[in-house]
Amino acid sequence: MEDRLKNLKRVMDKRTFADLNFSDQHHNSVRKKISQQEESDEDILLAVMQLLVQEKTGHELTGLLRGRGIQKFENNEGFLYTLLHRLEQSGCIQTNWDDSGAKYYWLVDKGRKLLNKAEQKRTKHRMVLKELLEGVSVQ
């Protein structure tokens, strides 16, 4: 099966994509637009809470958020720790230091309830958008 896929890719490269050429300027403008995308604070908060369903350190959170493409805190690590502190103060998460000096964060019941509400709200929002887009016919 893998050989068949490789052959298909080779044929597509020769026939379908042969006429496509992108200038360096176009490549750079696409990269610039991608890097300029700002995540909303709400998106970051939701991602952090989703990740804290299981116990994590701040360092682990940073890597996992980076993996999700969230870069708002990249040059400002204090942003993440300020957010974690606010979540702790509001009673949504708890923390604990281990013997090695690492601080762990995790959601408690209040945080889980808020996370469920936020995910339901987001799901409803997506469903409304989908219905709107399906109802719009392109002529």
CATH assignment of the domain containing 62? 1.10.10.10
- How confident is the model at residue 26, as a pLDDT? 76
- How confident is the model at residue 139, as a pLDDT? 46
Asked if 87 contacts 93 with a C-beta cutoff of 8 angstroms, the reply is yes
Q: Does residue 11 sit within a domain?
A: no
Q: Does residue 111 sit within a domain?
A: yes
For the segment 36-46, the average pLDDT, to the nearest whole number, is 73
For the segment 110-126, the average pLDDT, to the nearest whole number, is 86
Asked if 23 contacts 13 with a C-beta cutoff of 8 angstroms, the reply is no
- Three-state DSSP state, 136: coil
Q: Does residue 119 sit within a domain?
A: yes
Cα separation of 39 and 101, whole Å? 31
- How confident is the model at residue 35, as a pLDDT? 58
Q: Does residue 32 sit within a domain?
A: no
pLDDT digits 0-9 by tens, 46-102? 899 999 999 999 989 988 998 888 877 777 778 888 999 999 999 999 999 999 999
Q: Does residue 17 sit within a domain?
A: no
For the segment 4-15, the average pLDDT, to the nearest whole number, is 77
Q: Does residue 10 sit within a domain?
A: no
Q: Does residue 28 sit within a domain?
A: no
| Residue ranges making up the domain that contains 100 | 39-135
The torsion defined by the Cα of 124, 121, 53 and 50, in degrees rounded to 10, comes to 80
Greater model confidence, 22 or 103? 103
- How confident is the model at residue 98, as a pLDDT? 93
- How confident is the model at residue 138, as a pLDDT? 46
The number of folded domains in the chain is 1
On the question of pLDDT at 1 being above 60, the answer is no
On the question of pLDDT at 133 being above 80, the answer is no
Which has the closest alpha carbon to 57: 80, 34, 74?
A: 80
CA distances from 123 to 4, 14, 113 (A): 38, 41, 15
Where does residue 84 rank: exposed (0-12), middle (13-18), buried (19+ CB within 10 A)?
buried
For residue 64, the number of C-alpha atoms closer than 13 Å in the C-beta half-sphere is 16
Q: Does residue 56 sit within a domain?
A: yes
